[in-house]
Structure formats: C-alpha cells, structure tokens
Amino acid sequence: MHPDAAMLAAVLVGNLLLLQRASAQNAGFVKSPMSETKLTGDTFELYCDVVGNPTPEIQWWYAEINRADSFKQLWDGARKRRVSINTAYGANGVSVLAITRLTLEDSGTYECRASNDPRRNDLRQNPAITWIRAQATISVLQKPRIDASDQVVLVHEGSHSTASPVTLQCNLTTTHNTHTGSFWMKNQQEIPGTRRDPKNTEYRLNKPRADDAGEYMCVYTFDKAPNANASIEVKAAPEIISHKRSENKNEGESAKLYCKSVGYPHPIWTWRKHRNGGWSEIDNSTGRFSIINNENYTELYIINLDISTDPGEYECNATNVIGNKTAKSILRVRSHLAPLWPLLGVLAEIFILVVIIVVYEKRKKPDEVPDDDEPAGPM
C-alpha cells in the first residue's frame, strides 16, 4: 500500500473512533425505584427509567434483608407468577417491576441495574464497573385483621321507593402497630364526617336508594404502618336516572343518544332498535354505529344518518347481577329539503295569493260609465 494511502486510512479510522466516542453516552438514571412499606396481600410497583447511547439494558435483582451481598436476579413470572417485569426500549429504557399478593418473605432490597457497556455481559469484567445500580427497600408488614359486615343487597319496590335502613360495621381485632383512627370511603372517595377513633366503627344508611349502592371501605390508620382497610359491597339493581328522550337530525348528519344509571355493580350496557314489531340489538354491519360504555354511562353514535332505516325508537338496557332497567329514545331524521320547507311554504302562499288576485280581477264586472248626454248634477 502506498504510504500516503496508509496514512489517510489511519486518519479516517481515528476520526471514526473519535466520532463514536463523541456520540456515545454512558448510562444514567432518569427515575430510580423508591422505598416503600406495604402490608401482606398488597401489591407494589418499582419504576426504573434510564438514558444512554446506545439505550442501556435493564435488569432487576433482589437481596434479602441484612444480606446485601447475596443478590439474585429476578425474572418475569418468578415467585409462582407473582413477579411481573415489563420493559420497553426506545430513546430511554423503562422497566416496571411488580409483585402481587405480598408475603413477609418479599421484604428486602430490590435493585435496578442498567448498562450500555459492550463488555457488560463479559464474565471477566467486574459488574460493579460495567453496571450502574439504584436500590429500593421494600418492607412488608403483617396486615391487621378487620372483621367487616357481609355484602348488602338493596331491594326496591318502585323507582322512587327506599329500602330498609342499613348499617355497615367494621371491627379492628388484631394489629401489630399503634392504631390512630378510622374513616369510611365510598367508591375510592372519603365520606366527609366519618373520621373516628374507636376500633369498632359503623356507617349507617337511613334511607338507602340505588345511588347509595357501591363499594364501601372502612379504613384504619396507624402510627408507623400503612393504612389497612376492609371492603363491603352494597349492591342494587340499575336505575336509569337520565337519558336523551328524543333527537331530531337531518339525513347525512350524526346523532348521539345516551343513558346514565345508578346502582352497583356497574351494569353491562346494550342498545336495541325497534324493528318490525320487535326489538333487535344494534347491528354494526354498516360501520355507522359505535357504542361507548363507561361504568354507569353509555353513548350510541350514528353517523351519516339514513332517512329510510335510522328513524325510530331506540332502547338502552342496563343489566347487573341484581336486575336490569331500560329507557327508550326516539330518533327523527328529516329530509335534505327540510330546511327549505318554510321558504317553500311562504312561496306557495304568495303564489296562491297572486292566483286569487288574478282570477278575481278577470271575473270582476266593469264599472258603469255615465253617458255624456245626460246632465250632470242632482235631479
């Protein structure tokens, strides 16, 4: 090889290595896992977000309490499928470690390791040099024992009647930590005015209705431990409290019908249309219908309305394990010419008036004209 060519190749290789080093970025943590205290039976999640170029690889490791020198790698499905690891690689590397149905043995140190070093999996390398680490301590405490009332089913004779009074009760019987108070929640929201000190607490529904149904929880607070709770389900058949009774649209437009209910558990919604003397479920073979359900609320959308098939009576049905309820809506679809009808009516009235005037003028007798020979003036 010519000496100049060899020198040029060496310079190019050197520049390439410099560019690679300049574009490379060591792994670094954007978000590290946080230490937590949990109760047996609960679930915890640890997040790890790392950045680097190339995108770093992420691993999860675990060590028992007071044995930080004996880490073991965790994998998805470990501990009888109670461990789940979800990792995604893009501009960053993001990984979530979750463990369900916690036991006391799940306490320990959890470590997120990340590395984009090309030598990271070389057994001859020291992992402490090729991997960066972030640790979190998970402490699992024995869950207190709470005796709670059984589930309650509200029975209503009519849409406006109330069931018999209901009292929900909880009793904190066993705890390893100092109890500081309690309160009640409904559907994950604290009920105002329910904070108390006794271990035996109750909540009374004097005139329960369908909208009082839901998931109630008695929650106990402690001095140096997470809150503990017990759930009581108050069930009731659905009651539809609002719906669109009618909708007037022009053909080619879109229409929306909706229904809203109370009751618990949240219902399964279905929509039907009255056809040929009977009810049939909405058929979306044309692709013009869409139904959106959200717990106690449902919407039916119809696009590109057809005046020949879409008008009529629609029905929403809410069904849960206790019962069901329906509500009807009427959809009216007008022709494209509907906006012109007022104008056409005015024009028709003008046309008829002109015709009447013309006919009247033609049929009217001419006025008598006096002869010039007759003297003017009074007789």
Per-residue pLDDT tens digits for 99-151: 999 999 999 999 999 999 998 888 888 778 889 999 999 999 999 999 999 99
Mean pLDDT for 39-56 is 95
277 pLDDT band, cuts 50/70/90, is confident
Query: What is the pLDDT, as a whole number, of residue 370?
Result: 53
Query: What is the pLDDT, as a whole number, of residue 34?
Result: 96
Query: What is the pLDDT, as a whole number, of residue 71?
Result: 93
CA dist 182 to 38, 99, 149, 227, Å?
18, 28, 16, 9
CA dist 185 to 140, 215, 218, Å?
24, 8, 7
Mean pLDDT for 329-342 is 79
Cis amide linkage into residue 265, ω under 30° from 0: yes
Query: What is the pLDDT, as a whole number, of residue 358?
Result: 82
* Range in 150-164, 168-182, 280-294, 304-318 with the lowest mean pLDDT: 150-164
SS3 360: helix
Query: What is the pLDDT, as a whole number, of residue 9?
Result: 46
11 pLDDT band, cuts 50/70/90, is very low
Q: Is 255:175 a contact under the CB 8 Å cutoff?
A: no
The top-scoring range by mean pLDDT among 113-122, 124-133, 258-267, 361-370 is 258-267
Three-point CA angle 101, 176, 66, nearest 5°: 65
Full-model pTM: 0.71
What is d(CA 138, CA 63) in angstroms, rounded to the nearest whole number?
11
Residue 100 exposure: Cα atoms within 13 Å on the Cβ side? 7
Residue that wins the pLDDT comparison between 91 and 371? 91
Torsion of CA 340, 342, 345, 350, to 10 degrees: -100
Query: What is the pLDDT, as a whole number, of residue 376?
Result: 52
What is d(CA 78, CA 70) in angstroms, rounded to the nearest whole number?
17
224 pLDDT band, cuts 50/70/90, is confident
Any idea which residue has 């679809």 for tokens? 333
Q: Give yes or no for residue 248 having a pLDDT over 70.
A: yes
Three-point CA angle 349, 354, 358, nearest 5°: 150
* Range in 65-79, 99-113, 257-271 with the lowest mean pLDDT: 65-79
Q: Give yes or no for residue 191 having a pLDDT over 60.
A: yes
Query: What is the pLDDT, as a whole number, of residue 125?
Result: 80
Q: Give yes or no for residue 171 having a pLDDT over 90.
A: yes
Mean pLDDT for 233-243 is 95
In the structure, how many helices (H) and strands (E) does the chain have?
A: 4, 25
